[in-house]
């Protein structure tokens, strides 16, 4: 596993606004960029640690089943408890 490159550079907020696309690409490549206002650090632009993989439709097909009575009415005692009634 390659180590991530971390270069801390501070840019002022005006520069960050005018070159946001470039700064985002640099952060995605592993740099850490500090955004400052009036010389004081205000935010940090860092790369995402990991992006979740895209879901694949049908990937779980056949791995689980739904019971035939899945949508059958609940027993009265269970419904009563949902409604705050005690038996």
Q: If you average pLDDT over residues 46-56, what whole number do you get?
A: 82
Predicted pLDDT at 48: 85
pTM of the model: 0.51
Pairing of strands 40-45, 8-12: unpaired
8-45 has which CATH code?
3.40.1620.10
pLDDT at residue number 16: 95
Per-residue confidence (pLDDT) for residue 3, from 0 to 100: 47
- The tens digit of pLDDT for each residue in 9-41 reads 899 999 999 999 999 999 999 999 999 999 999
Find out whether 17 and 37 touch, Cβ atoms under 8 Å.
no
Sorted by where each begins, the domain ranges of the chain are: 8-45
Instruction: Report how far residue 24's alpha carbon sits from residue 84's, in angstroms, rounded to the nearest whole number.
Output: 53
């Amino acid at each position: 596993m390659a180590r991530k490159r971390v270069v801390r550079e501070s840019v002022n907020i005006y520069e960050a606004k005018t070159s946001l696309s470039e700064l985002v690409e640099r952060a995605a490549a592993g740099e850490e960029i500090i955004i400052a206002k009036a010389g004081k650090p205000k935010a940090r632009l860092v790369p995402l640690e990991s992006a979740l993989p895209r879901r694949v439709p049908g990937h779980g097909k056949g791995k689980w089943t739904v019971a035939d009575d899945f949508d059958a009415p609940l027993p009265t005692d269970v419904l009563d408890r949902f409604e705050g009634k005690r038996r």
